[in-house]
């Protein structure tokens, strides 16, 4: 278990359940998503005008020493050729701190 101090002063347990972290650390990670443009991995669907998003990576590089990364992986109930291809089964969100 590693406890780190985030740039906003809150504590983050790198091995803890993200939903059980302090509100300050949750606010920090939400801000990373809200203030950075994600790099998206998409997949073509039966609708040639619209792709579905498989993965989004938000990276905040504005701090010295570390980059703060949020990765959102989307899982769909049906394949990309199915008429119901946008039915989302769920999303997995990962948080990481990378040294520069």
According to DSSP, the residues that pair with 65 across neighbouring strands are none
Under the banding of pLDDT at 50, 70 and 90, the label for residue 81 is very high
d(CA 54, CA 16): 25
d(CA 71, CA 93): 6
pLDDT tens digits for 11-58? Answer: 999 888 888 888 899 999 999 999 999 999 999 999 999 999 999 999
- The domain segmentation of the chain, as residue ranges, is 3-99
**DSSP code string of 14-71:** TTS-GGGS-HHHHHHHHHHHHHSPPEEEEEE-SSTT-EEEEEEEEEE--SSSEEEEEE
Predicted model pTM: 0.91
According to DSSP, the residues that pair with 42 across neighbouring strands are 53
């Amino acid at each position: 278990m590693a406890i780190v101090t985030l740039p906003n002063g809150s504590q983050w347990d790198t091995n803890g359940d993200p939903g059980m972290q302090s509100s300050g650390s949750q606010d920090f990670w939400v801000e990373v998503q809200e203030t950075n443009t994600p790099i998206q991995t998409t997949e073509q669907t039966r609708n040639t005008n619209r792709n579905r998003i498989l993965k989004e990576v938000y990276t905040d590089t504005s701090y010295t020493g570390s980059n703060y990364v949020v990765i959102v992986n989307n899982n769909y109930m049906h394949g990309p050729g199915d008429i119901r291809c946008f039915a989302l089964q769920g999303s997995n969100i990962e948080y990481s701190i990378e040294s520069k």
